[in-house]
Amino acid sequence: MAANRNLPQIWKPGTAPYADFLNALTPEQKAAHLKKRREKKAMREVMKQTIDEYQAQWAAELHNAAWSVLMRARREGDAQAFASVFDRIVGRPQEVRTDEGRALPWSDE
């Protein structure tokens, strides 16, 4: 992909801005910066592990919640609740197709 010539070049080849930033810090500042960086990386790893561990359970709970809303919509005749769940699961149509002036709820195409 060709570089966009209209954008200002922030990084110049052959330079190391992060290394220059680290070299400009005092030893105490550098140690604090690197400690904060390690903590952020550790937090990202913990969050990734949490997501991986609970992903199936969260998907099941979302399914159960959608099912509960659908059952309530059916029981109470709440078309708006049904439409909300349907839009989330199936997706909202990008265009509305009509047949003789009536909107078609879906298309088999």
Decide if 28 is inside a domain.
yes
Coil, strand or helix at 74? helix
Decide if 85 is inside a domain.
yes
Rounded Cα–Cα distance for residues 6 and 14 (Å): 21
- Start-end of H helices in 1-109: 17-24, 27-76, 79-89
Establish how many alpha carbons lie within 13 A of residue 74's alpha carbon, considering only the half-sphere containing its beta carbon. Answer: 8
pTM over 0.75: no
Rounded Cα–Cα distance for residues 85 and 1 (Å): 41
Decide if 45 is inside a domain.
yes
pLDDT digits (tens, 9 = 90+) for 15-59: 888 888 899 999 999 999 999 999 999 999 999 999 999 999 988
How far CA 82 is from CA of 34, 75, 91, 98, in Å, comes to: 51, 11, 13, 21
Count how many domains the chain has.
1
Q: Which domain holds residue 60?
A: 17-92
